[in-house]
Structures are given as structure tokens and as C-alpha cells.
């Protein structure tokens, strides 16, 4: 009887939502590596492209117990797809707990610059509010807040010595206790994870190229990201998150930091080299502008040799699929 026919009688079941590939992305963002700028962009992009942006209010708990890992993985895995989950958290191995391993992305920066940015941010906040730092570190004593960075480094205060300086590698090494110990084991495991689980690890110093590649690899999430980023309105938002009262330590202090962070630098240069190989593969030139005098000026960077790329023209899409399948 036509009057009582349902949608199902006439049309069959409603069409299934077609998910983009990949439909599960995790950005386990490293602190003070431009992540607030990227999250601002993601908020705009999630509205524009209709993906589920899952964020977390927990900013200071990067290491989790086994139960906390299971709980978090369960929560992320049940989020509506396509989702992009972001939080400051060390790498989580979903497959260890029987979940689907999502695609990971991340951004890192020069380790000394990251450390300095964090040092001054904890003390003095950023332009979003003069009292921002008081809320963030209310129990910091005045003498600690105004502790000269050179004194902190040269006199070996805990904040300026290992293991506090071993910061970036654990985000890629994971939740194993040895991931927190500065050394070869954690470094090698971090490199392995970058190769096997991360679609892209970019370099903050070349953020526009990072965004270009994200748009290329993950169009459902990042289409038009560069034009949004370059929009003058968004530029204003980015400037609010610049750390204030930053000063550069003495060359002697920088050398000491560099020694203490040698594993971090080995990892940083490894990621940078991989990133440059990827850029060349997709025809992006590295535009090296003359930088402002920055701490790297004092740092003896290893010579980076340009490796020749195989002449074989590989199909870009096939290459992407291979990465997802790994």
C-alpha cells in the first residue's frame, strides 16, 4: 500500500557514509613546536571539511600507565570517523591493544630553540595575556621565575640538565620506560617509529612546506590550509602565541646545551633529512632565507650532504598507498 511505504521500501538502506582514506589521524603534538598555530588552523579546517576534530584538555600528561593507554586508545578508536585526534602525548601503539593503528603526523623544531621557547613561556607566557604565565605556573617562586638562563644552564639546575632536556624523542619513541632515558635505544626506536607509523614529521622552520605536504597527503583534512594560514586574519592569531621576554644564552651556555642534547640533535637532523628528501620527491625546493641571528648560529651543525634521488619516476599516489599499508 503506497501510502504506508517507507524510505527503505522505495530506496533500500540509506547510503553508507563514504570515509576518506585514511579516516583516523593522530597529531601527538610536541610542546612549543608551533602546535597551537596548527590547532587554530585545524579548528577552521574541521568546520570547512566536515571531519571530527578530537582535542584534549590534558596538556601536561604525556606518559601514561598501561591502563591509561588502553583507556585513551579505546576513547580515540570509538570517535566518529573521519577524525583527527590531537594531544600532547608520547606515541601510543594502538595495535598493541588490538586497535587499528591510525596515521600519525607531527612537527618538531631545533631542540635548543624549543627548549628556550618553553623556558621563557613557563615564566612569562605570551601576548594572549600578561597574567597568562601566572595561571600556568602559579607556584613558581619569584627567584625561579627571574632565574637567568645562563645561570640555569652553567650551574646545572634540574630544569636545564638531563633528563629534562630529553624532550622530543619520547614523543616518537613511545610509552616504554626506556623512552625517557637519553640514549641510543630511545633514539633508534624513535627513528623506527617515524619510518613505520608517521606519514609526515615536519620541521617548524619550514612550516609552509609542512602545510603544503599535509594538504597533498591528507586533502580531506588539510585542503586550502596554506591559503588560510597566509590569510592576514589568521596571521594575527598566530602572533598572539609568540613567547615574550625571550633572550639568547651565551655561546658557552649554548655549547653546553648542545652537548646535553646531542641525541635530540641526532634525531632532529635525521627528521630534517627525511623531510628534505620528501620535499624533493614532490618538487618542493628548500628556500633558505637568511635567518635572523638565532641560537643555531653557535651550534656546529653536521654537514648535510644532498643525496641524489633515484631517477625512477614513481607514481605519487601508489607511493602514498604504500605508506598507509605499512
Instruction: Report residue 149 as a C-alpha cell.
Output: 638562563
Main-chain dihedrals φ then ψ at residue 32, nearest 5 degrees: 60, 40
Does 88 participate in catalysis according to the annotation? yes
Given a contact cutoff of 8 angstroms between Cβ atoms, the answer to whether 94 and 77 are in contact is yes
Exactly one of 11, 49, 59, 88 is catalytic; which is it? Answer: 88
User: Which residue matches cell numbers 645561570?
Assistant: 151
Radius of gyration of the chain (CA): 22
Close Cβ partners of 288 (under 8 Å, ≥ 6 residues apart): none
Instruction: Report residue 247 as a C-alpha cell.
Output: 633572550
Q: In whole angstroms, how far apart are CA 20 and each of 23, 90, 239?
A: 5, 26, 33
Rounded to whole angstroms, how far apart are CA atoms 301 and 298?
9
Close Cβ partners of 118 (under 8 Å, ≥ 6 residues apart): 31, 32
Catalytic residues: 88
Amino acid at each position: 500500500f503506497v501510502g504506508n511505504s517507507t524510505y527503505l521500501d522505495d530506496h533500500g538502506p540509506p547510503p553508507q557514509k563514504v570515509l576518506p582514506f585514511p579516516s583516523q589521524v593522530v597529531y601527538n603534538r610536541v610542546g612549543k613546536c608551533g602546535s597551537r598555530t596548527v590547532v587554530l588552523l585545524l579548528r577552521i579546517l574541521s568546520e570547512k571539511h566536515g571531519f571530527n576534530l578530537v582535542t584534549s584538555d590534558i596538556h601536561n600528561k604525556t606518559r601514561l600507565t598501561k591502563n591509561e593507554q588502553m583507556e585513551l586508545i579505546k576513547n580515540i578508536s570509538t570517535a566518529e570517523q573521519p577524525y583527527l585526534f590531537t594531544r600532547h602525548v608520547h606515541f601510543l601503539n594502538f595495535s598493541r591493544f588490538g586497535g587499528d593503528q591510525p596515521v600519525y603526523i607531527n612537527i618538531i623544531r631545533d631542540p635548543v630553540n624549543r627548549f628556550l621557547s618553553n623556558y621563557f613561556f613557563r615564566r612569562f607566557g605570551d601576548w594572549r595575556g600578561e597574567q597568562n604565565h601566572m595561571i600556568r605556573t602559579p607556584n613558581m617562586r619569584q627567584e625561579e621565575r627571574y632565574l637567568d638562563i645562563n645561570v640555569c644552564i652553567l650551574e646545572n639546575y634540574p630544569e636545564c640538565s638531563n633528563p629534562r632536556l630529553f624532550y622530543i624523542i619520547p614523543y616518537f619513541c613511545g610509552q616504554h620506560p626506556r623512552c625517557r632515558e637519553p640514549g641510543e635505544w630511545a633514539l633508534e626506536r624513535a627513528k623506527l617509529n617515524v619510518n613505520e607509523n608517521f606519514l609526515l614529521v615536519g620541521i617548524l622552520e619550514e612550516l609552509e612546506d609542512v602545510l603544503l605536504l599535509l594538504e597533498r597527503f591528507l586533502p580531506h583534512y588539510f585542503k586550502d590550509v596554506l591559503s588560510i594560514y597566509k590569510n592576514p586574519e589568521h596571521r594575527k592569531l598566530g602572533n598572539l602565541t609568540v613567547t615574550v621576554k625571550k633572550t639568547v644564552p651565551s655561546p658557552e651556555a649554548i655549547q653546553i646545551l648542545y652537548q646535553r642534547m646531542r641525541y635530540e640533535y641526532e634525531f632532529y637532523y635525521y627528521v630534517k633529512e627525511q623531510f628534505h628528501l620528501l620535499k624533493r620527491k614532490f618538487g618542493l625546493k628548500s628556500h633558505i632565507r637568511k635567518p635572523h641571528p638565532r641560537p643555531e648560529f653557535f651550534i656546529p651543525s653536521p654537514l648535510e650532504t644532498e643525496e641524489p634521488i633515484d631517477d625512477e619516476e614513481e607514481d605519487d599516489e601508489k607511493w602514498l598507498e604504500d605508506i598507509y599499508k605499512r
